[in-house]
Amino acid sequence: MNTKPLRVAFQGEPGAFSEAAAVGLLGEAIETVPRPTFDRTFAAIADGAADLLMVPIENSLAGSVLRVFDLLLDHNLAIRAETVLPIAHDLIGCPGATLAGIRSVESHPMALAQCERLIAAHPEWKRIPAEDTAGSVREVLARGDISCAAIAGTRAAKHYGGVVLASNVQDNARNFTRFLLLSTDHSPVAGADKMTLVTRLAHKPGALLSALQPFARRGVNLLKIESRPIHGCPWEYQFFLDVEATSPNALEQAVDELRRETQEVRVLGLYPGARNNPEESAASTGRKP
């Protein structure tokens, strides 16, 4: 019996870190579906192009991927899992290129931000932002200009036939990105121990404190908080929370109380937290953490 492979959409071109995260979490048997932008990625399931999405949510050096936070609100998708990928950047050029001959470097803005030391050491380089890391390698190789280089992972260099001019060029070797696996399936996930939710607070003093107290009273660990502006309501914000669901009853009680304390609460996912320890992941790639 022939079964179609699971299709997983990601933002970027083949060879992107998001593609590597999808393969690492779900295995080589999946079919990866590149999409040019985050907006197109989030539309991939509705378009019939994919079954699941893999998107980056935060990087340990450059911070949160804000567009993804906004798109999570715009789409009725559930977080089904997360994974953490060690990010090792290479400077990649065309065959025949040399480090001394480079005059411009391009990549996704977050990747450029993670390699400030390398770029600052070469003031003659022009910095060019691109839609994604792997796509910048594709463009550099397509032009064939040996004075141009891209910053991306080794996976992209191999895919497009680029030459690695310098390895591990990120500012900090402990560079990790957390990715979310998204689906239209909102059913319970086995082994779920982490919750992501978003809440809209009343616009009054002490609103944030009141929203967090239900978790503190029940010993629920708050892992992350991220504020995003509410469109159409200047200077008002909604807050994304990541919490540990070590006690399901305590978490349920905290969320119920949160609903009474705030204007709106939406659970984006109750899912298994990443099992791949960043230090172990870095070691498995042969890179120093």
CA distance 222 to 219: 9
Backbone phi and psi for residue 206, each to the nearest 5 degrees, phi listed first: 80, 5
Considering Cα of 219, then 181, then 82, then 223, what sign does the dihedral take? Answer: negative
Q: Is residue 234 exposed (0-12), middle (13-18) or buried (19+ Cβ within 10 Å)?
A: exposed
Cα-to-chain-centroid distance, residue 59: 7
How far CA 233 is from CA of 11, 228, 258, in Å, comes to 29, 11, 22
142, β-bridge pairs: none
Q: Which of 17, 38, 179, 215 is catalytic?
A: 179
Q: Which of 41, 83, 177, 262 is catalytic?
A: 177
Is 177 a catalytic site residue?
A: yes
- Written as one letter, the residue type at 125 is W
Q: Map residue 257 onto helix, strand or coil.
A: helix
- Written as one letter, the residue type at 110 is M
107: nearest Cα among 31, 172, 70, 162: 162
Rg, the chain, Cα only: 21
CA distance 128 to 48: 33
Is 179 a catalytic site residue?
A: yes
Q: Catalogue the active-site residues.
A: 177, 179
